Amino acid sequence: MTVRPRRLRTTPAMRRLVREVRPHPADLVLPVFIHEDLSEARPIGSLPGVSQHPLSAVPALVEAAVEAGIGGIMLFAIPSVRDAEGSAACAPGGVLNRAIAAASRAAGDRLVVMADLCLDEFTSHGHCGVLDADGAVDNDATLEVYAAMARAQSRAGAHVLGLSGMMDGQVAAVRGALDAAGLTDISLLAYAAKYASAFYGPFREAVDSQLVGDRRTYQMDPANGREGLREAELDELEGADLIMVKPALPYLDVLAEVAAQSRVPVAAYHVSGEYAQIEAAAAHGWIDRRAAHLEALTSMRRAGADIVVTYAALELAAWLEESR
């Protein structure tokens, strides 16, 4: 034999030298949940190690992220009062906008502050948009609310708006609204290929979701790959600065193809159910927790993700630094 691939696997030093993908803490974004009614952290049962936090905790959470060296945080918020229109989402004094302001002040230019731009946490019915007279999500009426929400989040200090609602034309509507308001420096992260997935279950506990039914009329069918490429291309054309595939691991094929065609940075969201699977199996002693989280991260980066949103961001950052 003249070709022996094992030559490049002989020692840790050799494997490190020829490694193709090198995840870094700066690639990572940590989701953070802020609950308006809390005075102290409350653990989320289906997401071991993850909690809902009071608004007062935001500066300390930012400092922890900065010290870990991760790239950013993504803020989600649970208001005290919900209504059919999701009014608290657009109010300057709403919990999410107050959390954004606190995070932005604490972060300065040391950390990217991202905000979830969607109505599901704020509506009494749990959908990502406003409903029409027949109870269906009204795409175009929702875009008007997203535009107001975008202006409020931008004025609160968000650096990146995460457009996660999967409404047609949402990127163009938000970009147009921000440009018209002179808010031209705000980046848009489009959840371009967001699938109607079974892996979102723990997240619904995290945001105290009020959803009855499902979101299959606006989130994507898990069977469709080419549609994900089309959605990503449309969002780029509408002015997205970054695009996302969500969930990550069941859609690595879509992630790889989106990354191959994209001219903007690509993110992957290692969602709540994916994280919870690792945590549950590790708790039973069935898998090595650290190795599994690192392998999942590496697979997303190998598929082409420039940015990974993950609940394990702080621990991953520490493990990556230890292995350098």
The catalytic site residues sit at: 194, 246
Query: Please, are residues 52 and 77 in contact by the beta-carbon 8 Å criterion?
Result: no
